[in-house]
Amino acid sequence: LTTSERGESIGLDIEQIRGNEAPFLQGMDEIVFRYDQEAKRKVVVARWLELSLTVLTLLVLALEARLIFAPVTRRIRHDMLVLEEKEEDMSHLFSASPTAMLMVDSKNLGIVEANQKAADLIGLPIEKIAGSTVSDYFDPAYDTSVRFLESLAKHASISDYEVVLLDTQL
């Protein structure tokens, strides 16, 4: 092809493109608008789904609070009050006991609480007894005291032991 033939061919091609440009652009506009409408519909559906899930989640949380957590909280509060009452009753019984009593932690044989009779027997104020260990008040020179402490540490029966207490007033 010569340059003039090529120029004429390009001119015809351009004319053909210009002739088809309006219908092509109209078709492209329809496609773009259709995709835009579909995208907007999907966004609206996604928003409704999001709102529905949020409302459902809040409803489930409200029902959990009402049906599960509120009764459990009331039950725990009630149990704590009952426990406090029983602890108070135990403390009254412990302090009113006619015999010397020590409340001992089984893990380390530490004295948690002592009644007045025990304080009188040991010869120390109750405040000084609490926090010490049982072994602080038994003479290790006596075999029965050692066996008593070993039985106490092993959670064995401790009845029928005759032990010797150290004189704490020295």
Q: What is the CA radius of gyration of the chain?
A: 45
Question: Does the pLDDT of residue 8 top 70, yes or no?
Answer: yes
Give residue 168's pLDDT: 59
- Side chain identity, residue 22: A
pTM score > 0.85 for this model?
no
Convert the pLDDT of each residue in 66-112 to its tens digit.
Answer: 999 999 999 999 999 999 999 899 888 888 888 888 888 888 888 88
For residue 104, what is the enclosing H or E element? strand 102-104
Convert the pLDDT of each residue in 42-53 to its tens digit.
Answer: 999 999 999 999
Q: How far apart are CA 77 and CA 83, in angstroms?
A: 10
pLDDT grade, residue 33 (50/70/90)? very high
Q: Are 123 and 167 in contact (CB under 8 A)?
A: yes
Give residue 158's pLDDT: 74
Which structure tokens are listed for 152?
Answer: 């106490």
Q: Are 140 and 146 in contact (CB under 8 A)?
A: yes
The average pLDDT across 113-138 equals 86
